[in-house]
Amino acid sequence: PPRTAAFLVASVLGCGVGVLTMSLDRGSLPVIVGLTVLVNVMIWLGRRLICHPIESVLTSWDRVCQDQRPGTLRLLPVHRVDEAGQIARAMYQLTSVSMRDGYEARQLRRTLDHRVARATAAATRQLTHMAMRDSLTDLGNRRFLDENLDALVQSVLDSRGTLTCLMMDMDNFKSVNDTLGHAQGDELLIFLANLIRACIRKEDYAVRLGGDEFCVLLPS
């Protein structure tokens, strides 16, 4: 232990000084003992006044670093008026800033994670909607029909209801594109899609299969 080592060092130094004194002016044994005691007292005082306070600060610092909670900062002896107190106060300020920055960083990370999750969910919903809807008319597309037809049929079977399927297309639609242009043909498709949407119920399915072909599913 440090105290035992300090005692041994002090004893050796004291004996060395005593032997040196005897060789120079023929001192006696009390001189050796006196010098040994004096050196031990000086080392004890140095340890008591310097080493022990610093060790106490370092021990408290280790506990604060391991715990990382603001309450553990009270372990630092900031009330001392000596050099150990100055070191403790410097550590207190440094640790307080570090803990605050760490807390703010964790809060910012949680906020960013929440915003990223919300943005990802919104983007996923939007992409799913786009994948299931016809880009021109905003009716369901063929993929929408494939994804929902089995569940719709099963629901009708479970309720012992009926399912009506309407298939329609526009007569002479090709001539509209050929004479008036595809832009006017698109306007006509949108107009027909709006007519279908206005005539069906919430539970009905309106689908554009492709071109001028449309399908409406009406359960019950």
Catalytic choice (62, 169, 204, 212): 212
Q: Tell me the three state secondary structure of residue 151.
A: helix
Q: Tell me which residue of 190, 191, 220 sits closest to 205, measured CA to CA.
A: 220
Element spanning 217, H or E: strand 213-219
Beta-carbon count within 10 A of 31 CB: 17
Cα within 13 Å of Cα(201), Cβ side: 7
Could you tell me which of 116, 62, 58, 115 has the C-alpha nearest to residue 88? 58
Question: How many angstroms separate the Cα of 43 from the Cα of each of 6, 33, 81, 84, 111?
Answer: 7, 15, 22, 18, 56
212 is catalytic: yes
Angle at 69 between CA 66 and CA 72, to 5 degrees: 80
Cα 98 from Cα 113, distance rounded (Å): 22
Residue 32's H or E segment, with its range, is: helix 29-46
Q: How far apart are CA 77 and CA 56, in angstroms?
A: 8
**Would you name the residues annotated as active-site residues?**
212
